[in-house]
Amino acid sequence: MESFVFRNPVKIIFGVGEVKKAGEEAAGIGKKALIVTGQSHVKKSGLFDRIAGYLTDAGVEFVHFEGIEPNPRAATIDRAGEIARQNDCDMVLGVGGGSTMDASKAIAVVTRSAHPIWDYVYNEDSEKKREVEEALPIMLIPTVAATASEGNRGGIITNWETNQKAGLFSDHMYPKVSIVDPELTATLPRQTTIDGAIDIISHVIESYFTGPDNTPLQDRFSEGIMRTVMENLEILLEEPGNLDARATMSWCSTMALLGPVNLGRPGPFPLHFIEHVISGHYDISHGRGLAIMLPPLMRYTFRDRPEKYAQLAKNIFFIDTDKMDLQKAAETFISRFEDWMKKVGMYARLSDEGIGDERLEKMVEDTIEVYGGGKDHIGSYRPLYRDDLAAIFRMGL
């Protein structure tokens, strides 16, 4: 286990119906909010009008910025920041899924800056990347159980001009308050629920595979969340309105990246690196990309650390591995997990999204360039070089 410092200042209000507290919580943060939403769902569902009413009742003025894309664009964030400045907004309230919440954090940064957001996200010369020095106060209301953005200090932004997608992290980006109301996820499309589930799972098992040895408590956290998500996803596919299952999924989502699960086991996160490059080029759902690339990555790398995969076979699927060859036990977990993915409609290939090998070499180069830290590989339990990445991409076709 590695050394760590744990700090998480986010006030989380959790529970069915708790969105009604949006006004009073916003009033404790600012006087005029930029309400940030996606492209249609929050408005069409009536949720925007409800939240607007809560803010009005609490004496909080607001300006609405609608139109955050999946894989939020740097240009859109810059435009929203300009609107916030022009209207003298003193807080940002993000309502939506992971893209909207990530964008809201970035908008809070760029509103207080004279520079475009991409200057803070990525620069080929890492020494020239700007550090976040301040941001507007942030409040978030998630409508999807997936990314855990409501409880952490990061956001993922896409530069559509360069097809690059990278992360922005700062203590200034912690939300002041997040209201996690599971009822807001009850009408999600089936595929969005599925995509969210694999996002949660990937958050807790990626560093399980790539992190340091001797992290038994973190491993148990990961296994518990993974098993719980699998069980409750199956319930939700049969009973989409089951609020107990929705609440459980929402809390699993928040906990996955709140801090404790990965403390002392910080990664790296090669699955996310690879997926970010794919969705940066092809604009597919983040969860869909994770679902596509997790099996190829596991099959390519499991021999580097078979004991971890064998441990999952035992603790997730309750397979008696004591008398099994370690490699066989590891492969058994992967096969069983792939079977489960197929059962719940999660398993897919890049070709299912219309993606071939025409940009494969460029995606390999982008993965190294953006996530290699100036080296000729990205991090994993062992380094993954260009040939490794090309092979993994091809396995996903």
Give me the CATH topology for the region 190-395.
Dehydroquinate synthase-like, alpha domain (1.20.1090)
Please give the pLDDT value at position 126: 65
Low-confidence ranges of the chain (pLDDT < 70): 124-128
Are the beta carbons of 2 and 266 closer than 8 angstroms? yes
Q: Where are the alpha helices (DSSP H) in the chain?
A: 22-27, 41-44, 47-57, 74-86, 98-111, 118-121, 190-210, 216-238, 243-256, 270-282, 286-301, 306-316, 326-343, 360-371, 386-395
pLDDT in tens, 335-355: 999 999 999 999 999 999 999
What's the predicted TM-score (pTM) here? 0.96
Residue spans of the domains in the chain: they are: 11-185, 190-395
**Number of other residues whose CB lies within 10 A of the CB of residue 80:** 28
Please give the pLDDT value at position 122: 79
**Number of other residues whose CB lies within 10 A of the CB of residue 300:** 17
> Phi, psi (5° rounding) for residue 358?
-65, -25
Round to whole Å and give the CA distance between 131 and 113. 11
Round to whole Å and give the CA distance between 89 and 298. 46
11-185 under CATH 3.60.20.10, yes or no: no
> Phi, psi (5° rounding) for residue 189?
-60, 150
